[in-house]
Structure 1
Amino acid sequence: MEFVRIQHIDNPLFAKMHRLMQEVFPPEEVLAYDLWKEPLEDPGIRVFVAVHEGEVVGATEYRYYTDMNVAMTDFTIIGREGLGVGRFLARERQKDLLALAAENGKELYGMFAEIYDPYRVAEHSFGGIKPMDPFVRREVLSHLGYKRTNFTYVHPSWQNDGEAVSGLDLGFMPTNEEQTTLEADLIVTFLKRYYAVLPQKPQAWLDMVKDLESKEMVELLPI
């Protein structure tokens, strides 16, 4: 299996990756095909696919913020079972991120991820692909070391229609597994940067950010 970076929308592997995203994720979670041009060419956004016998069997997108010394896992897709795709992607991503942090002269502080809560929103079928079942994914992320930030989380829809998407937690995987709190101002800085690309912010998101700005620390709880 190969870990291949995609940096141009005309890469044939991107069409396969985008098709896989549409099969797996709800429509509001998938950025339109043509809107991927700039993100793919952004050196700070890292999009990799797992390629097995010429086919895209998995994908992950993530980014590392040098000023905050944190990463964000945008998504991880396991498109085929029985190949160890999930472990392969997690291992290769972590190696890459640790190298980026080292180049920045630091040890990685941690990594954010939006984590579906199927106990609240049960209708996400994720294309019928069993490894992508939200119950399975939530437990896998817990095993990796992710914790949930203790506040009610929403995010702007990637369809940029001003709608708020709920049913998720904002997760954080601290490098120090004993860490039980996270700086609220770090969360605010991260969220404003991450969603700067979407001009249509729902009021619920604005209210959430305002509430975070009034706090110093946020609890990190088990998933």
Structure 2
Amino acid sequence: MDYTRITTIEDPLFKQMHNLMKDVFPPEEVLAFEDWAGPLEDPGIRVFVAVDKGEVVGCTEYRYYEDLQVAMTDFTIVGREGRGIGPFLANQRQADLFALVQETGKELIGMFAEIYNPYLVAEYEFGGLQVMNPFVRREVLAHLGYRKLDLAYVHPSWQQDGEAVHGLDLCFLTYRAGMDAVPAELVATFLKTYYAVLPEKPQEWYAMVEQLEARESVTLLAI
């Protein structure tokens, strides 16, 4: 299996990846094909696919914010079961991230990730892949060390219509021993930076950020 970076929508592997995203994720979570052109060319956004015999069988995207000393796992898709694709993507992504951090000479505080809360949203089928079932994915994140932030989370739709997307938790994997809370200012700054690309945002999102800016810290809870 090969771990291959995608940097242009002209790459034939990207079409396979985008089709896989549409099969697995609900529409509001998938950026339109042509709108990927800019992000893929951004050196700070790292998109990789797992390729087995010419077929894209999984993919992951993440970004590293050197100034904030945090990273974000945008998504991970395991497109086939029973092939070890999940561990392969996680290990390759971590190695790539740690290499980037080492180049900067800074400390990596932690990594954010959004995860569906199946207790709030139950109707998504995620392409019929049991490995992408939200209960399974939450357990995987928990085993990796992620914990959810203690806040009512909402994010803007990637369909760029300004609608609010509910039913997810914002999680954080710490790389500092004994860290049981995240500075609220860091969370707010991260969210404003991460979603700056979406011009239309719901009022619920702005209210959430304002509440974060009024807090000192956000406790990390078990998923």
User: Which TM-score band applies after superposition, normalised by the shorter structure?
Assistant: over 0.9
Contact 1:156 1:200 in 2 (8 A): yes
1:107 deviates by 2.9
Residue equivalent to 1:158? 158
Q: Name the residue aligned to 2:97.
A: 97
Q: Deviations over 1:4-52 (max 9, x none)?
A: 0000110000000000000000010000000000000000000000000
In the TM superposition, residue 177 of structure 1 has moved relative to its aligned partner by 4.9
Taking the aligned partners of 1:106 and 1:99, their CA distance within structure 2 comes to 11
Distance 1:126 1:41 in 2: 28
Q: Report the aligned-residue RMSD.
A: 0.7
- Equivalence for 2:34: 34
Alpha-carbon distance in structure 2 between the residues aligned to 1:115 and 1:179: 21
Given residue 64 of structure 1, which amino acid in structure 2 is its aligned partner? Answer: Y
Structure-1 separation of matches of 2:145 and 2:215: 24
In the other structure, the counterpart of 1:122 is 122
Corresponding position of 1:133: 133
| Kept after mapping to 2: 8 A contact 1:98/1:107 | no
Distance in 2 (alpha carbons) for counterparts of 1:177 and 1:56: 36
Deviation sequence 1:91-146 (CA, Å, 0-9, x none) = 00000111111111123211000011001111111010111001100110010010
Of 33-42 and 168-177, the range deviating more from structure 2:
168-177
Query: Partner residue of 1:204?
Result: 204
Q: What corresponds to 1:217 in structure 2?
A: 217
**CA spacing shift, 1:20–1:184, aligned 2, 3 Å:** same
Aligned-residue offset at 1:82: 1.1
- Structure 2: 5+ residue stretches without partners: none
Partner AA of 1:207 in structure 2: A
Counterpart residue number, 2:18: 18
| C-alpha displacement of 1:176 | 2.6
Partner amino acid for 2:212?
Answer: L
The size of the alignment, in residue pairs, is 223
Aligned twin of 1:186: 186
Of residues 170-179 and 185-194 in structure 1, the stretch that sits farther from structure 2 once superposed is: 170-179
Identity in percent: 65
Q: Which runs of 5+ in 1 are unaligned?
A: none
The residue that corresponds to 2:57 in the other structure is 57
Q: Answer whether contact 1:155 1:166 (CA < 8 A) is retained.
A: yes
Residues in 1 aligned to 2:157 and 2:120: alpha-carbon distance in whole angstroms: 18
User: When the two structures are superposed, what TM-score results if normalisation uses the length of structure 2?
Assistant: 0.99
Residue by residue over 1:61-109, the C-alpha shift from the partner in whole angstroms, topping out at 9 and shown as x without a partner, is 0000010111000000000011100000000000011111111112321
